[in-house]
């Protein structure tokens, strides 16, 4: 953010600032160090969000592997992680289910926050978090009553949350430099609403970025962070294996974006620790099943799976489940399953061997691939393969009673839907666009078109 620009733009303009919020939390620091069990995540026993099915348990990493081999910048590293859940009897999962992982902020980032806020010296001491005298508010559930500042910053607060204007207003009081104070004042003022919206909201500038952008911080009280930073929320991951193959293991795949998110960074660090021989525990919980499920009841109908990148995760579980059902119950006749899979480069296709195995085993009937960054690839995105196989979609969805599952990013899921809509339009005589949209809506209502959208 160019601070000078902003100052010039608002030169000699008077600003209307929101009223400084009254604090409602008080933090009492003791002289003792915080010595409680550090392996227990602070939020382990707090009410879990996102449709928790089980309690949160710390489970050991059983093994991990890097699935990508190239250091080519076109290829995002993807990891497979196996959790040992043998001891957790309540983790009864089905293919398509997801887990929540409780994240931990990076140690380095927490150290930066502590230094900027001049809290480093107090950071390991035992503190009590209480409501300020006379306050009628409630303490948020995710704040422990006793902890240390460091542990609370590591496990409870979202350091990258986009600050609301009232938080910016409060932070002005803890800056010394006049220009920096003016910039924050502009951003939280009535007159600066458009700049707040463009430079903070749309640009995705979080509290941690603000902390680094400004240099003249002078003692940010910890209670201010407790009052304004939201809860560090669990992150969901698809389970990528079938309980029929091994119910004592939970497998996930994740890709490491640049810069990595809080949880993927944590998992990446944990993998390094586990690989050096240290037993490494990850706090996870099982989430309730949703419509994205695939069990014996659905296996006798023809099915199409569509995925891009690690969006293939739930389908790995589906395919394993088909294989195990086929092996264990000779009476069941599995209907055809076709996989549409897109990734960046054929040479780095994560699932090459897995798909080959399932094609040979008969758990997969056909495979249609797309490679977005191979210049000679005939099909760039899965949508191109869908268009080339339009007839198959009409066969499964209109003439047959099959189903389709799509998993990937929001854009991918939306674009795939449009392209399937086009395929159906070609096969529905005299249909208008609204007819095909309605056909898809009906398929969705009937759970024959199921989407799993990831951010
Ligand atoms: P990625 O490598 O960035 O992309 C995978 C492929 O999808 C690339 O070939 C990419 O092409 C292509 N693509 C991009 N936009 C597309 C669009 N609009 N339509 C069709 N294809 C498109 O993806 P990733 O990091 O593996 O992740 C894929 C998604 O899966 C993420 O949103 C992730 O959150 C989600 N997911 C994660 C899990 C999990 O448990 N970790 C589970 C399910 C889904 P380009 O070369 O153009 O980028």
What's residue 33's pLDDT?
A: 93
pLDDT band (50, 70, 90) for residue 69: confident
What's residue 428's pLDDT?
A: 78
What's residue 92's pLDDT?
A: 96
Inter-residue contact 421 to 376 (CB < 8 Å): no
Token digits for 277?
Answer: 């021989």
Nearest residue (CA) to ligand 1, atom 5? 309
Ligand 1: distance of its center to the CA of 9 in Å?
A: 40
Ligand 1: distance of its center to the CA of 309 in Å?
A: 4
By C-alpha distance, which of 180, 144, 162, 131 is closest to 7? 180
What are the backbone dihedrals phi and psi of residue 330, each rounded to the nearest 5 degrees, phi first?
-65, -20
- Closest approach atom of ligand 1 to CA 98: 40
Q: What mean pLDDT comes out for the span 24-32?
A: 95
What's residue 349's pLDDT?
A: 80
Q: What mean pLDDT comes out for the span 424-446?
A: 85
- Closest approach atom of ligand 1 to CA 74: 46
Q: What mean pLDDT comes out for the span 122-146?
A: 95
pLDDT above 80 for 232: yes
What's residue 148's pLDDT?
A: 97
Token digits for 450?
Answer: 């199921």
pLDDT tens by residue, 252-293:
999 999 889 999 999 999 999 999 999 999 999 999 999 999
CA–CA dist 244, 92 (Å, integer): 11
Ligand 1: distance of its center to the CA of 8 in Å?
A: 42
pLDDT tens by residue, 347-402:
878 899 999 999 999 999 999 999 999 999 999 999 999 999 999 999 999 888 89
What's residue 399's pLDDT?
A: 87
- Output helix, strand, coil percentages for the chain, rounded to the nearest 5: 35, 20, 40
Angle between helices 178-188 and 165-172 (to 10 degrees): 160
Ligand 1: distance of its center to the CA of 98 in Å?
A: 18
What are the backbone dihedrals phi and psi of residue 276, each rounded to the nearest 5 degrees, phi first?
-90, 10
pLDDT tens by residue, 154-186:
999 999 999 999 999 999 999 999 999 999 999
Q: What mean pLDDT comes out for the span 64-87?
A: 89
- Closest approach atom of ligand 1 to CA 237: 40
pLDDT band (50, 70, 90) for residue 137: very high
What's residue 73's pLDDT?
A: 73
């Amino acid at each position: 953010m160019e601070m000078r620009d902003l100052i010039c733009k608002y030169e000699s303009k008077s600003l209307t600032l929101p009223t400084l919020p009254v604090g409602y939390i008080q933090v009492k620091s003791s002289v003792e160090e915080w010595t409680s069990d550090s392996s227990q995540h602070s939020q382990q026993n707090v009410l879990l969000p996102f449709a928790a099915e089980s309690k949160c348990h710390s489970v050991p990493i059983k093994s991990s592997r890097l699935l990508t081999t190239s250091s080519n910048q076109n290829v995002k590293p993807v990891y497979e992680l196996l959790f040992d859940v043998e001891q957790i009897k309540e983790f009864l999962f089905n293919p398509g289910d997801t887990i929540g992982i409780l994240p931990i902020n990076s140690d380095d980032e927490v150290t930066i926050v502590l230094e900027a806020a001049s809290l480093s010296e107090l950071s390991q001491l035992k503190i009590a978090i209480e409501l300020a005298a006379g306050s009628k508010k409630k303490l948020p559930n995710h704040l422990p009553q006793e902890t240390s500042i460091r542990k609370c910053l590591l496990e409870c607060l979202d350091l990258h949350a986009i600050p609301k204007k009232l938080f910016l207003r409060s932070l002005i009081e803890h800056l010394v430099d006049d220009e920096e104070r003016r910039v924050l004042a502009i951003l939280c003022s009535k007159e600066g609403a458009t700049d707040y919206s463009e430079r903070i909201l749309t640009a995705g500038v979080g509290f941690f970025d603000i902390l680094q952008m400004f240099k003249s911080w002078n003692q940010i009280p910890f209670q201010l962070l407790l009052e304004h930073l939201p809860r560090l929320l669990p992150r969901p991951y698809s389970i990528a294996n079938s309980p029929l193959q091994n119910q004592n293991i939970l497998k996930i795949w994740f890709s490491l974006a640049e810069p990595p998110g809080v949880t993927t960074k944590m998992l990446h660090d944990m993998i390094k620790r586990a690989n050096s021989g240290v037993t490494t525990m990850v706090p996870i919980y099982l989430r309730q099943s949703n419509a994205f499920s695939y069990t014996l009841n659905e296996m006798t109908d023809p099915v199409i799976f569509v995925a891009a990148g690690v969006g293939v995760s739930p389908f790995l579980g589906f395919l394993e489940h088909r294989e195990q059902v086929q092996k264990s119950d000779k009476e069941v006749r599995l209907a055809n399953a076709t996989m549409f899979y897109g990734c960046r480069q054929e040479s780095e296709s994560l699932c090459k061997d897995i798909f080959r195995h399932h094609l040979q085993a008969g758990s997969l009937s056909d495979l249609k691939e797309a490679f977005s960054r191979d210049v000679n690839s005939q099909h760039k995105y899965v949508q191109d393969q869908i268009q080339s196989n339009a007839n198959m979609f009409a066969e499964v969805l209109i003439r047959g009673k099959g189903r389709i599952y799509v998993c990937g990013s929001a854009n991918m899921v939306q674009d795939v839907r449009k392209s399937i809509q086009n395929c159906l339009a070609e096969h529905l005589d005299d249909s208008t666009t609204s007819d095909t949209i309605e056909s898809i809506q009906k398929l969705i209502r009937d759970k024959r078109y199921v989407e799993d959208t990831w951010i």
